[in-house]
Chains A and B, each alone.
Chain A
């Protein structure tokens, strides 16, 4: 197997290792705001099925 063909295989492994290192050092936040009193929320109510807003 030549170098460029082999590179695909060890390249994938290198990618996942580098990604793992990067993410491990990263601060991940996904906090959500559940209390939605903003005016634009009114516009969504009737087509948002997660809310019991529609008659």
Chain B
């Protein structure tokens, strides 16, 4: 009873939030089960503002709101440069990929990213390319999902003292249920609500350190010259407010590219473009998605550095080694149950929005892009089996979450690099380069994936001076070169002109040729 008396407000807010998500899933249950086009893509009839918020909430996750925000505690206000790269890639994604991917996928009647690659390239390796890309999705996302679920469970544990096991179960179960019920409809509409909540929470959180210490001038004075120490035990001095004093720009560039490029390569982000209802909606999203993301990043990416103004030397000495706990510490120190409840709901929303999107992508990859290619099935079976696949994969993620392997946070970031290096050349080439071939797409995907693994495990930490060069940089260059060279070498294998003319109508676009 004492527990309920202390936490009733936060518990009520979290329960209301979870019930809203489940209600949306239930509301769309019948509509989503009408067929593949409904369950996978929400029939391409979702308004632009919903897609815009859904893209923002899918890309930004607990990693952003807790991990990246907390990392500024050790890296200082310069950490916001990571946000600059993310914003640039968000803009590139919507300007360069969005409209064209929406148009081509509708023309090809594509419903997943792997089947887009298959239909677009039409080569002897297209089916292998489709299965390879589905395999990359399945293998790379499990670490990401486990990392997000673990982050949410950790949050529920630290704020509400819910055991890690039950916290992970609650988050994964609720997300799986509304995803299975409503498919893409419930994923997008819950994402939109979660996006609104996250946007508000980002603005709210950045205000807390200023309110706590009594104003802008006071806080900036506190962090401009501090005796708090770095991880190496050296006093920070003015390092928190000095450009790249506590972190190298090469490292910022690596994280900025590795995570930011997800927006131009990761299927859970790209699939959003499929569902936009019309050109007006697309235009709205092209303007507002960078606004939602950019303003949130301005608020969040330097937050950890601001928290120094709220901490004692002893607290800072602990937090510098536990930066994932910085946001939770800030909420606890501020000590307002209303604020904590709203922020907790927003942070859980950040995790669930990403989880739901990935669950749907995984289900469609497993059933539509592997099983259905191997043994074609009826539409009703596709939807039913995709739902079962989502459930089964969620159970697997739950097991990984409660028995996490070492270094799961690093693996989470690493999965982003694999996606970017593997998918970007074939997606971009498919959209813009008439001369791109299926052979080039297949081998560039393989080189991107293997290059990421090789740089990480053979070179980066074994050769002096390469530690800060993230695997995304060499792997992307290698994959891009592979795409170019093999496309030129297999120029006789480009798809038929009639097929390409439908994808690159010269009278409507001149960028393709």
Say how far B383's CB is from chain A's closest CB, in angstroms: 9
Does B163 make an interface contact (CB < 8 A)? Answer: no
Chain B's interface size range is 35 or more
In the complex with contacts A19-B91, A40-B498, A44-B119, A34-B290 CB distance below 8 A? no
Asked if A9 and B372 make an inter-chain contact with CB atoms under 8 angstroms apart, the answer reads no
In the complex with contacts A5-B241, A38-B502, A49-B372, A30-B77 CB distance below 8 A? no
Q: Complex Cα distance A23/B244, Å?
A: 33
Q: Complex Cα distance A24/B220, Å?
A: 37
> What chain B residues lie within 8 Å of A15 (beta carbons)?
84, 87-88, 91, 290, 294
B residues 49-95 touching A (CB-CB < 8 Å)? 76-78, 80-81, 83-84, 87-88, 91, 94-95
Asked if A12 and B115 make an inter-chain contact with CB atoms under 8 angstroms apart, the answer reads no
Does B36 make an interface contact (CB < 8 A)? Answer: yes
Asked if A1 and B36 make an inter-chain contact with CB atoms under 8 angstroms apart, the answer reads no
Asked if B107 and A5 make an inter-chain contact with CB atoms under 8 angstroms apart, the answer reads no
Asked if A49 and B368 make an inter-chain contact with CB atoms under 8 angstroms apart, the answer reads yes
Asked if A28 and B109 make an inter-chain contact with CB atoms under 8 angstroms apart, the answer reads no
> What chain B residues lie within 8 Å of A34 (beta carbons)?
106
> What chain B residues lie within 8 Å of A44 (beta carbons)?
108-109, 118-119
Say how far A5's CB is from chain B's closest CB, in angstroms: 5
Say how far B112's CB is from chain A's closest CB, in angstroms: 8
User: Count of A residues near B, CB < 8 Å?
Assistant: 40
Chain B's interface: helix, strand, loop or mixed, by majority? helix
Picked from B298, B373, B499, the residue with its CB within 8 Å of the CB of A13 is B298
Asked if B36 and A50 make an inter-chain contact with CB atoms under 8 angstroms apart, the answer reads yes
Say how far B215's CB is from chain A's closest CB, in angstroms: 16
Asked if A40 and B295 make an inter-chain contact with CB atoms under 8 angstroms apart, the answer reads no
> What chain B residues lie within 8 Å of A40 (beta carbons)?
122, 495-496, 498-499
Asked if B286 and A13 make an inter-chain contact with CB atoms under 8 angstroms apart, the answer reads no
Picked from A19, A30, A55, the residue with its CB within 8 Å of the CB of B287 is A19
The number of A-B residue pairs with CB atoms under 8 Å apart is 148
Picked from A2, A16, A38, A49, the residue with its CB within 8 Å of the CB of B241 is A2
Q: Complex Cα distance A21/B271, Å?
A: 26
Picked from A2, A5, A28, A39, the residue with its CB within 8 Å of the CB of B99 is A28
B residues 109-153 touching A (CB-CB < 8 Å)? 109-111, 115, 118-119, 122, 127, 130
Does B377 make an interface contact (CB < 8 A)? Answer: yes
Asked if A23 and B95 make an inter-chain contact with CB atoms under 8 angstroms apart, the answer reads yes
In the complex with contacts A29-B279, A33-B502, A48-B115 CB distance below 8 A? yes
Q: Complex Cα distance A26/B36, Å?
A: 33
Asked if B242 and A5 make an inter-chain contact with CB atoms under 8 angstroms apart, the answer reads yes
| Per-position binary interface string of chain A over residues 31-52, scored 1 when its CB falls under 8 Å from any chain B CB and 0 otherwise | 1111010111001101111111
Picked from A8, A28, A30, A36, the residue with its CB within 8 Å of the CB of B80 is A8
Q: Complex Cα distance A29/B510, Å?
A: 13
> What chain B residues lie within 8 Å of A32 (beta carbons)?
102-103, 106-107
Picked from B276, B295, B301, the residue with its CB within 8 Å of the CB of A16 is B295
Q: Which 5 A-B pairs have the closest CB atoms?
A: A32-B106, A4-B243, A8-B80, A54-B376, A16-B294
Q: A28-B282, A52-B378 are in contact. List 20 more A-B contacts (CB 8 A).
A: A2-B242, A5-B77, A8-B80, A16-B294, A23-B94, A23-B283, A24-B287, A28-B286, A30-B99, A30-B282, A32-B102, A33-B106, A33-B502, A36-B109, A40-B122, A40-B496, A47-B373, A50-B35, A51-B109, A54-B376
